[in-house]
């Protein structure tokens, strides 16, 4: 399984992805690939997409050799493990506000000895290949990408501790919700919003993690 994208996380290079909220035809993987994407994210939080959708899109992306991150609607164990079981390379978790929540996420997503994820091997997450449990656990733990969304002031306060946690790969700023939490809805150029973004960015730099957000323009992405 290709881990090149995950291995590149935490390094000072720009990665570009597609955020899928509507269009998920079988050609979407190749479309994203030729458009220059490094990864794709499928949104199950604010759409009608289901885990069945995620399973299909994971196959489309894998055919194009692109990793798929699935944003799930909660931080519950069963949503985390199921998204990974149907073939997602990683999960994005909304509204992460504390180190305790971050630890729960890591334990839910990782197999023994790094976590408590329930055993279901040889299925979509293993590309339907069987292997001894220690090997399957090791491969899945290595390739699983965890993107935790910082979307409120509590998350910003906890950003340093969350970024320091082993197993966390990306701190993804939810810009609209964060601006609301700061009391400045939609004001992404407000100094307070910029200070919050910089605080998350500094935490990521300090601990060798990647920071991400949805960019509304080319200027926002660089």
Show me where the domains of the chain are located: 4-221
What is the pLDDT, as a whole number, of residue 180?
Answer: 98
Q: What is the dihedral of CA 125, 78, 54, 163, to 10 degrees?
A: -80
What is the pLDDT, as a whole number, of residue 123?
Answer: 85
Active-site residue 62, yes or no? no
Report which of 151, 170, 150, 167 is spatially closest to residue 159, judged by C-alpha positions.
150
d(CA 97, CA 62): 32
What is the pLDDT, as a whole number, of residue 53?
Answer: 97
Query: What is the assigned CATH class of domain 4-221?
Result: alpha beta
Positions of the chain with pLDDT under 70: 1, 218-222
What is the pLDDT, as a whole number, of residue 129?
Answer: 84
What is the overall mean pLDDT for the chain?
A: 94
Catalytic residue among 46, 62, 78, 175: 46
């Amino acid at each position: 399984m290709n881990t090149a994208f995950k291995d590149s996380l935490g390094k000072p290079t720009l990665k570009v992805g597609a955020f899928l909220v509507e269009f998920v035809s079988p050609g979407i993987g190749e479309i994203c690939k030729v458009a220059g994407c490094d990864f794709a994210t499928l949104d199950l939080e604010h759409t009608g997409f289901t885990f069945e959708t995620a399973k299909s899109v994971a196959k489309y992306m894998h055919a194009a050799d692109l990793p798929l991150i699935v944003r799930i609607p909660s931080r519950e164990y069963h949503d985390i493990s199921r998204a990974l079981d149907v073939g997602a390379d990683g999960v994005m978790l909304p509204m992460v506000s504390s180190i305790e929540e971050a630890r729960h996420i890591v334990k839910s997503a990782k197999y023994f000895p790094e976590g408590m994820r329930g055993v279901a091997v040889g299925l979509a997450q293993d590309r339907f290949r069987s292997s001894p449990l220690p090997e399957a656990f090791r491969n899945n733990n290595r390739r699983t990408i965890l993107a935790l969304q910082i979307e409120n002031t509590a998350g910003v306060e906890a950003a340093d501790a969350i970024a320091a946690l082993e197993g966390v790969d990306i701190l993804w700023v939810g810009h609209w919700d964060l601006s609301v939490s700061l009391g400045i809805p939609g004001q992404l150029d407000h100094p307070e919003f910029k200070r919050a973004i910089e605080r998350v960015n500094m935490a990521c730099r300090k601990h060798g993690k990647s920071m991400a957000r949805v960019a509304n323009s080319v200027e926002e992405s660089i």
